[in-house]
Amino acid sequence: MSDLFTEVDEAMKQERIEKLWKEYGGLLLSFLAMVILATAANAGYKSWIQHRNFKQTNIYLDAVMKENPTTDDLLTILPDMTVGMKGIISMRAAGIALENGNTDKALSIYKNIEADTKQQKDNPIFYALAKYMATNLDKELSPEDKIARFETLANDKNNPWAYNALFDAALLEATQNKNYAKANTYLVRITSTDSRAAQGLKQKAQSLKILYQAQQNEK
């Protein structure tokens, strides 16, 4: 008798499966097809990304490793590069310009990086460095304009050059404005116990604090 019940139960299960398949089999097949296509597309996209990155890296290495690469050698390959590679290439191009004493060319490149909203969003480190370097190199900026730009950089906690910007702002306040008290407010932020500034920069800031305090007392 138990065998009979088992057979009936199996038959009912089979009947339910067939009924479900008739009602939803098409949807299930469509869903499986979408999963397979999505997986294939994702794998293809990753493969394309990898191939593109490999190709662009090789183009960059060919340009930068040639004997005496020039700024123009690197700028020539920029147009077809991704945002990340553009940042790397542009920073190296500006570095070569500085090495060759062409500060105007370097400044132009840094300004282009700073003006690129995609760099600001996707490569904030390159963007911040470009702004820092452009501020230092731009002779048309007044001391007040430079200090304002340095303060903006210093207030960004994720900016690796925040403390360098504070140091440069202190130098400008002291040397250009003779405002030693204001200069020391920047230096205090560098030398404070919670500061993450490099030890060498902290030591320089501490030495300047003593000097500026003495000069302030003489006024």
**HEC states along the chain?**
CHHHHHHHHHHHHHHHHHHHHHHHHHHHHHHHHHHHHHHHHHHHHHHHHHHHHHHHHHHHHHHHCCCCCCHHHHHHCCCCCCHHHHHHHHHHHHHHHHHCCCHHHHHHHHHHHHHCHHHHHHCHHHHHHHHHHHHHHCCCCCHHHHHHHHHHHHCCCCCCCHHHHHHHHHHHHHHCCCCHHHHHHHHHHHHCCCCCCCHHHHHHHHHHHHHHHHHHHHC
pTM: 0.74
Confidence of residue 190 (pLDDT cuts 50, 70, 90): very high
pLDDT tens-digit map of 95-150: 999 999 999 999 999 999 999 988 888 889 889 999 999 999 999 999 999 999 99
Q: Percentage of residues in the chain with pLDDT exceeding 70?
A: 76
Given this model, what pLDDT does residue 38 score?
61
